[in-house]
Amino acid sequence: MTVKIICDTSADLNLPNDATLYEKYDIEWVPMNVMFGTTEYKELVDLKPSGFYKLIHESTEHPTTSQSTQHDLLKAYEKFGSKFDEVISIHISSELSGAYANARMAKKMYKNKNPDGAEIHVFDSKQASVPFGIIAIKAAQLAKQGLNAESIVEKLTHFFENDDVIYFTVKDIKWLFEGGRLSRAKYVLGKMLNVNPILTLIDGKIESVAKGSGLIKTLDLMLDMALENLDRDVDNITLHFVEAETRVEIEDFIGRVKEMYPSLKIGEIFTLGGTICAHTGPGTIVLIATRNFEY
């Protein structure tokens, strides 16, 4: 049984200098879309992360985003539908984007045109950015082991429910408000309190779960919460990070983590892509803790 993994570019498997990890794991990506004013860019096709951050500082327009199109998703299904027995199409939380809904529609279109083609399994990651990307990597690793799609989906569900924890903080909550991810009431309260929010995803939605005072204490609290969620099983935990012009701060934090928890594994520092950063803004720091995961 051969299985192909497809995901959208909000998985943010972006490395420095616009490199990515998609190729390493043979994951096919379908672009999300980022707009500055009336100009639309397909993420990773004609807008790399470095180009997005350049535009952030040069453009007078606040960036907006839209999901992968049914057309682009259908093209990916048709590209691999005749080469593989099954396709798992993994997407950003359906609570945050219409990518999952578009993928379901593209699946119907594909099956109408190709009744004998590969079986398409559309999977809602209930995550965003690298926590979703790690799920895609996990899926690709399982596919390489020869598991069928049903078994892979079962293991993915167990993994993100039990072994995958995310916390993040933002420099300025106005990005979440302007991007429609934060209510006006929460925005006004957050600005008044002048604290660092600690956020996570619960049932696919962004929720505020704690507040920190100052970046160092906020990161320490994020780490403590993540370890507590994974039973402080430090010998089997890997930390991964996502930066949005915050690499120096993350590297400093990693230095302190290594002193506090020498046995904790440190994974990659990824770069937040345009789709997610348009809603969280520069200054975002994401901490992901995984158990039973290896690159």
State both tokens at 145.
Answer: 């082991």
Angle between helices 130-144 and 149-162 (to 10 degrees): 140
* 107 and 185, same domain (yes or no): no
- Residue 236 is predicted with a pLDDT of 95
* 185 and 273, same domain (yes or no): yes
Please tell me the distance from the alpha carbon of residue 200 to that of residue 12, in angstroms, as a whole number: 17
CATH of residue 254's domain is: 3.30.1180.10
CATH of residue 80's domain is: 3.40.50.10170
Strand partners, 169: 285
- Residue 176 is predicted with a pLDDT of 62
- Three-state DSSP state, 112: helix
Domain termination site, one of 162, 194, 228: 162
- Residue 178 is predicted with a pLDDT of 61
Please tell me the distance from the alpha carbon of residue 170 to that of residue 200, in angstroms, as a whole number: 11
Please tell me the distance from the alpha carbon of residue 289 to that of residue 194, in angstroms, as a whole number: 27
Residues 6+ apart with CB under 8 A from 33: 40, 41, 42, 43, 65, 66, 67, 68, 69
Q: How many CA atoms lie within 13 A of 135 on its CB side?
A: 35
Please tell me the distance from the alpha carbon of residue 274 to that of residue 46, in angstroms, as a whole number: 12
Please tell me the distance from the alpha carbon of residue 89 to that of residue 57, in angstroms, as a whole number: 34
Please tell me the distance from the alpha carbon of residue 240 to that of residue 216, in angstroms, as a whole number: 17
Domain termination site, one of 99, 127, 162: 162
* 158 and 175, same domain (yes or no): no
* 68 and 187, same domain (yes or no): no
- Residue 191 is predicted with a pLDDT of 52
State both tokens at 163.
Answer: 């072994």
* 158 and 187, same domain (yes or no): no
Q: What's the CA dihedral at 243, 244, 245, 247 to 10 degrees? A: 0
* 50 and 75, same domain (yes or no): yes
- Residue 268 is predicted with a pLDDT of 97
Domain of residue 253 covers: 164-291
Instruction: State the total domains in the chain.
Output: 2
State both tokens at 241.
Answer: 């990070």
Tell me, what DSSP letter sits at residue 245?
S
Domain termination site, one of 116, 132, 162: 162
* 179 and 112, same domain (yes or no): no
Q: What is the pLDDT along the chain (295 residues), one digit of tens a residue?
A: 899 999 999 999 999 999 999 999 999 999 999 999 999 999 999 999 999 999 999 999 989 999 999 999 999 999 999 999 999 999 999 999 999 999 999 999 999 999 999 999 999 999 999 999 999 999 999 999 999 999 999 999 999 999 999 999 988 766 665 655 555 445 444 554 457 889 999 999 988 899 888 899 999 999 999 999 999 999 999 999 999 999 999 999 999 999 999 999 999 999 999 999 998 999 999 999 999 999 9
Give the residue from 177, 172, 219 showing the smallest Cα distance to 198: 219
Residues 6+ apart with CB under 8 A from 277: 52, 53, 56, 63, 244, 284
